[in-house]
Structure 1
């Protein structure tokens, strides 16, 4: 699904929230859009449409998205902590604007957080190295069936199906 088609699905109030974040942070709109688009291109090339399901390729996508937002935000802000904070803000907002059930939301938020953590290890690496790193992490991803299980896997990507 394209980025624009996801935006078109938003209600007026949700679209307003997204727009307001962009107005407050105009320099971050383009870097975030670029990271989102690149994430989808990479995941479509690697996994086809499978990354839209709650599987291990979805965990890869969420982690990659956060890493790329952090990298792009860092180029603008020149501050790693601010870049990570921005990525958390925008990806957490995404979860609120596009709600899932509790398990799916917890999985996405967990994988988003790991992406931001991985950024610290990967901030000076190439896109190809990031993809390779995340493929290895994806191979170690843990299947969960309850939100409480995430606490037992703080250092692993998680997935549902």
Structure 2
């Protein structure tokens, strides 16, 4: 889906929230958009449309999105901490603007957080290395059935159902 189509669905209040965040760091807008586009291209190529469900491909997508936002904004910020804070602000806002059921939102926030943690090891990695690392993490993701289950896997990607069953 094109970014402008997503933005058209926002209310005025949501647009103000997004605009306010983007105006805080305007030099991060283009890198964030590029990271978002790259994430969707990679996920569409690897998983087709299944990454829009709540399985392992979705866990991969959320972690990849955060890693790529961090990597691309790091080029401008020269600070891992600033890049991580920005990625968290942007991806947390995304979850607020495009709400899910509580369990799906908790899963997304969890996998986003892991992506930002992985960034610290992947900051200088190539795209291929990043994708391979995250594919491995996603293959070993843990199936959860409730929010409490997510908390049981603080260092593992999580997903809500197994698409192979």
TM-score normalized by structure 2? 0.95
> Who is 1:106 aligned against?
106
* Structure 1 consecutive aligned stretches of length 4 or more whose deviation exceeds 3 Å: none
In the TM superposition, 1:46-125 aligns within 5 A as: 46-125=46-125
Indicate the larger mover: 62-71 or 24-33: 24-33
Alpha-carbon RMSD: 0.8
| Correspondence 1:118-137 to 2 at 5 A | 118-137=118-137
**Is residue 18 of structure 1 aligned with residue 21 of structure 2?**
no
Give secondary structure in 2 for the equivalent of 1:153.
Answer: coil
Matched residue of 1:49: which SS?
A: helix
Q: Cα offset for 1:3?
A: 2.4
Alignment partners' CA distance in 2, 1:58 and 1:142: 13
Aligned pair 1:9/2:9, yes or no? yes
Residue 2 of structure 1: how far off its partner (Å): 2.7
Unaligned runs of 5+ in 1: none
The 2-side partners of 1:2 and 1:107 are apart by 24
Q: Specify the alignment match of 1:148 in structure 2.
A: 148
Aligned counterparts of 2:143 and 2:44: Cα–Cα separation in 1: 22
> What SS class does the counterpart of residue 152 from structure 2 fall into?
helix
Q: CA separation in 2, counterparts of 1:37 and 1:149?
A: 31
Q: How many residues are paired up?
A: 161
> For structure 2, which runs of at least 5 residues remain unmatched after alignment?
none
1:60 Cα offset (Å): 0.1
Give distance in 1, aligned partners of 2:8 and 2:53: 20
TM-score by length of 1: 0.97
Residue matched to 1:32: 32
Structure 1 distance, partners of 2:110, 2:93, is 14
Q: Structure 1 residue 25: deviation in Å?
A: 1.2
